[in-house]
Chains A and B, each alone.
Chain A
């Protein structure tokens, strides 16, 4: 690695205003985009604003064998952590909305476009996009590609990315799906004309190339939008309910909230501080008297008559699953903070502006997809492990059924101070244990493909790993992109 010569070449290519080597810039990226502790300082940060510049940067990185990490903002993926003395390609200056296609309901955007930016642009045209509980400053495309999003009825966040423009580590630029033929500016589908290689760049954190444009689905804002609530005494009941909703195609998205998680919203929105007290005092598998063990939010939208009927069906199914249907009025009265949050995201469809309020989150969270029938056992065992590890604020979760109930995610988030090094280490060890158990015992897959525990398991995939290595070697012969992370 010849950083000095590389910086000279980069400056020649981009001009000094796009090449940063000062300590303040290094500091900004030292912890990656994650909230976890400090890791490594990059040697140089570059901010290209055209695809040609990205190509040139990668040529220089190859020439100087410079470990390269691509970031824009916001993901919590380990692949966004820099290498000591390596290069960060910050795509935040590539922030143009190329087009909003109102005939086929998609937007073509550059990777630096933020949630707020896209929201504003599409909202005026009667659209929304599933931004989950992310705040408005986060970038859209990288988060979609890193699976940081909501579970739509079709099968998760990836499905909302239609086509990509990618630059490979050796500088080849190409487009996927219907955008492959550049003479036609059509980005409406991820399929064809040839095998869909879009997946290679999804969830890979820039290990196989840099995406420089992408089309994402946008959805018409329907005339009626509802958030239907139901309370349950166990995760078995709530999972069954969510599967029934999914199978019937009733909802856009549903989320199972553990009591400690949804009562936290009361504090986030300044309604009460009860949640904290309960968390410390109770075991996570117990619950305060005034709460349901799980609350399920079912997000739906459509014509008013349809929604009326859908809500009635939800109430019936909740009862059949042993739960309680909760009216909007009840929710407003009994859980004002949680309702404010759910209404904001599910009914008003705004980005969340209370992300993490009141908590300083230790960023290494545990997030897996498992078969729905495994979720209850995994939940109970994980609760026990977290409790025994003393992670009082880690013993809460949310869970979503995805792809109409075929698979289910569950995410535990330790809310602990990053200043508490001892507890941080305990949290990391507990999370590793969680991943191992979830994968070995329950056949779960980690959401973040590059979590160290998952990475160690990669060779165990046999042929998959062999193919993976071959592809990586073919695309990135000098192994400059996230070296040793995925391979």
Chain B
């Protein structure tokens, strides 16, 4: 024991729970309602408690005691976490391993051991283009044929995020149509730029904070209410940065207004809701999207065995598909199989990363649909917008 040689970490605070964690593995499993099923994807894929909330605690405690030093092996373990918050909700000792994971990432960067090379390319892209996808900034709203809309007269500004704008623009278009039908005056936030969310997840905190503040100032100045289409960004703005802005997630807005219209679908019998980690465990929003689904006539909503706080992560969190493609595919396959067992033809969710990642692994006959697209179709009685 080298307690007298304790390392001074810049970002990792010395917390009693690193030591107090008894490795009970509650962080790895769901609770009794969901039958103590797997919860932590990395624990169940790699089959070692090192890759769990308890592992994060013990790595932190040993770093502080000087028993171990930061190494590439530690970095690999730390960067394998999908930051799904499962451990945070299940820990009986109220540890917050996800926060520990984030802080460890920050210190790994200080020690030049992170982030992994593949993420460094994304960082460069964010710095150069304002998005992690290597796409020119000016193309962000290219999917909007008539531009972002009139921000002056709008009640709500839609905050898309890069993943929706470039990889799931159908969701953004559907959301716009839904808001219009619901009588909500909206416009897309034309000054949208990278807000630092992914940098924050990687542990590149200073740059993330700078970018977040820049976006915050512009949004604040607009004086408008903000509606988020990406739950990761909503979690980031509301729970992480705790910005003083009137904010809402799009599912909440739908839940509030859904009764005002007639929504029917006749091209699907059963759907199941996949709780995105950032929306459910991250923001405690479980019931609103379910209320929206329930309001659509002709469709039965069936629950997967692991739902709400017990929901299994899809495997797309914290850049897992880029860092650990096999793990990410395995994690998605577990969820897809769980959805199949419900008999649902559609998996409905409300996160661009969950949707695209699950869709990539979906079985024949299974569709993975964003809630906005689902509502858009329901408003047209099952006809897709393109029909």
Decide: B92 and A37 in contact? CB cutoff 8 A. Answer: no
**Looking across the interface, which residue of chain B has its beta carbon closest to that of A415?**
B20
Within 8 A of A (CB), among B55-106: 55, 58-59, 61-63, 65, 67-69, 71, 73-74, 77, 92-94
Residues A363 and B22 in contact in the complex (CB < 8 Å), given A135-B92, A351-B32? yes
Interface membership of chain A positions 398-424, coded 1 if the CB is closer than 8 angstroms to chain B and 0 otherwise? 000000000000000000011101000
Shortest distance between the CB of A418 and any CB in chain B (Å): 4
CB-contact partner of B93 in A359, A417, A421, under 8 A: A359
- Report A-chain residues with C-beta under 8 Å of the C-beta of B54: 28
Residues A74 and B92 in contact in the complex (CB < 8 Å), given A47-B48, A116-B36? no
A389 within 8 A of B: no
Q: A24-B50, A30-B65, A38-B62 are in contact. List 17 more A-B contacts (CB 8 A).
A: A30-B67, A31-B19, A35-B21, A37-B65, A38-B65, A73-B23, A74-B22, A76-B22, A114-B29, A117-B36, A137-B27, A138-B25, A351-B32, A355-B26, A356-B22, A358-B94, A419-B15
Assembly CA distance A212 to B233 (angstroms): 48
Within 8 A of A (CB), among B314-341: none
Decide: A136 and B36 in contact? CB cutoff 8 A. Answer: yes
- Report A-chain residues with C-beta under 8 Å of the C-beta of B21: 35
CB-contact partner of A353 in B32, B35, B58, under 8 A: B32
Assembly CA distance A352 to B93 (angstroms): 12
CB-contact partner of B73 in A22, A39, A356, A417, under 8 A: A22
B128 within 8 A of A: no
Decide: A33 and B23 in contact? CB cutoff 8 A. Answer: yes
Shortest distance between the CB of B382 and any CB in chain A (Å): 39
- Report B-chain residues with C-beta under 8 Å of the C-beta of A354: 92
A contact residues, range: 35 or more
Assembly CA distance A356 to B94 (angstroms): 9
Decide: A41 and B48 in contact? CB cutoff 8 A. Answer: no
Decide: B67 and A135 in contact? CB cutoff 8 A. Answer: no
Residues A39 and B93 in contact in the complex (CB < 8 Å), given A22-B73, A24-B73, A28-B49? no
**Looking across the interface, which residue of chain A has its beta carbon closest to that of B66?**
A38
**Looking across the interface, which residue of chain B has its beta carbon closest to that of A93?**
B47
B155 within 8 A of A: no
Assembly CA distance A350 to B33 (angstroms): 11
B16, B47, B54, B77 pick with most chain A CB within 10 angstroms: B16
Within 8 A of B (CB), among A110-129: 114, 116-117, 119-120
Assembly CA distance A28 to B67 (angstroms): 11
Residues A418 and B26 in contact in the complex (CB < 8 Å), given A38-B67, A114-B36? no
CB-contact partner of B55 in A24, A357, A418, under 8 A: A24
Query: Nearest 7 CB-CB pairs, A to B?
Result: A137-B25, A116-B36, A360-B20, A418-B19, A27-B62, A22-B73, A360-B16
**Looking across the interface, which residue of chain A has its beta carbon closest to that of B47?**
A93
CB-contact partner of B19 in A35, A74, A134, A352, under 8 A: A35
Decide: A28 and B69 in contact? CB cutoff 8 A. Answer: no
A34 within 8 A of B: yes
- Report A-chain residues with C-beta under 8 Å of the C-beta of B29: 114, 116, 136-137
B268 within 8 A of A: no
Decide: A135 and B26 in contact? CB cutoff 8 A. Answer: yes
Shortest distance between the CB of B27 and any CB in chain A (Å): 7
B3, B20, B54 pick with most chain A CB within 10 angstroms: B20
- Report A-chain residues with C-beta under 8 Å of the C-beta of B63: 27
A361 within 8 A of B: yes
Within 8 A of B (CB), among A124-146: 134-138
- Report B-chain residues with C-beta under 8 Å of the C-beta of A487: none
Assembly CA distance A354 to B93 (angstroms): 7
B contact residues, range: 35 or more
Decide: B35 and A120 in contact? CB cutoff 8 A. Answer: yes
Assembly CA distance A181 to B28 (angstroms): 37
Chain B residues at the A interface, C-beta cutoff of 8 Å = 1, 3, 14-17, 19-29, 31-32, 35-36, 47-50, 54-55, 58-59, 61-63, 65, 67-69, 71, 73-74, 77, 92-94
- Report A-chain residues with C-beta under 8 Å of the C-beta of B48: 20, 25, 28, 47
**Looking across the interface, which residue of chain B has its beta carbon closest to that of A421?**
B3
Decide: B67 and A27 in contact? CB cutoff 8 A. Answer: yes
Decide: A41 and B68 in contact? CB cutoff 8 A. Answer: yes
Assembly CA distance A398 to B74 (angstroms): 40
- Report A-chain residues with C-beta under 8 Å of the C-beta of B25: 73-74, 114, 135, 137-138
Assembly CA distance A167 to B174 (angstroms): 63
Decide: B67 and A137 in contact? CB cutoff 8 A. Answer: no
- Report A-chain residues with C-beta under 8 Å of the C-beta of B23: 28, 33, 73-74
A150 within 8 A of B: no
Residues A38 and B1 in contact in the complex (CB < 8 Å), given A136-B29, A136-B36, A353-B32? yes
Residues A23 and B26 in contact in the complex (CB < 8 Å), given A31-B58, A350-B32, A357-B93? no
A26 within 8 A of B: yes
- Report B-chain residues with C-beta under 8 Å of the C-beta of A278: none
Within 8 A of B (CB), among A68-117: 73-74, 76, 92-93, 114, 116-117
**Looking across the interface, which residue of chain A has its beta carbon closest to that of B39?**
A137
Decide: A353 and B19 in contact? CB cutoff 8 A. Answer: no
**Looking across the interface, which residue of chain B has its beta carbon closest to that of A344?**
B32
**Looking across the interface, which residue of chain B has its beta carbon closest to that of A27?**
B62
- Report A-chain residues with C-beta under 8 Å of the C-beta of B1: 37-39
Assembly CA distance A24 to B334 (angstroms): 26
Interface membership of chain A positions 55-77, coded 1 if the CB is closer than 8 angstroms to chain B and 0 otherwise? 00000000000000000011010
Decide: B77 and A360 in contact? CB cutoff 8 A. Answer: no
Assembly CA distance A360 to B68 (angstroms): 23
Shortest distance between the CB of B260 and any CB in chain A (Å): 37
**Looking across the interface, which residue of chain A has its beta carbon closest to that of B78?**
A24
Decide: B94 and A23 in contact? CB cutoff 8 A. Answer: no
Some 8 contacts from A to B, beta carbons below 8 A apart, are A23-B74, A25-B48, A30-B68, A92-B49, A137-B29, A355-B26, A363-B22, A419-B14
Residues A356 and B92 in contact in the complex (CB < 8 Å), given A23-B73, A33-B23, A120-B36? yes
Residues A419 and B26 in contact in the complex (CB < 8 Å), given A119-B36, A136-B32, A350-B32? no
- Report A-chain residues with C-beta under 8 Å of the C-beta of B35: 120
Shortest distance between the CB of B63 and any CB in chain A (Å): 8
- Report B-chain residues with C-beta under 8 Å of the C-beta of A363: 20, 22
- Report A-chain residues with C-beta under 8 Å of the C-beta of B71: 22-23
B14, B15, B73, B92 pick with most chain A CB within 10 angstroms: B92
Shortest distance between the CB of B134 and any CB in chain A (Å): 32
Shortest distance between the CB of A40 and any CB in chain B (Å): 8
Shortest distance between the CB of B326 and any CB in chain A (Å): 14
Assembly CA distance A138 to B67 (angstroms): 26
- Report A-chain residues with C-beta under 8 Å of the C-beta of B50: 20, 24-25, 27-28
Decide: A356 and B58 in contact? CB cutoff 8 A. Answer: no
Shortest distance between the CB of B241 and any CB in chain A (Å): 27
Assembly CA distance A324 to B24 (angstroms): 37
Shortest distance between the CB of A348 and any CB in chain B (Å): 9
- Report B-chain residues with C-beta under 8 Å of the C-beta of A35: 19-22
Decide: A73 and B24 in contact? CB cutoff 8 A. Answer: yes
CB-contact partner of A28 in B16, B28, B55, under 8 A: B55
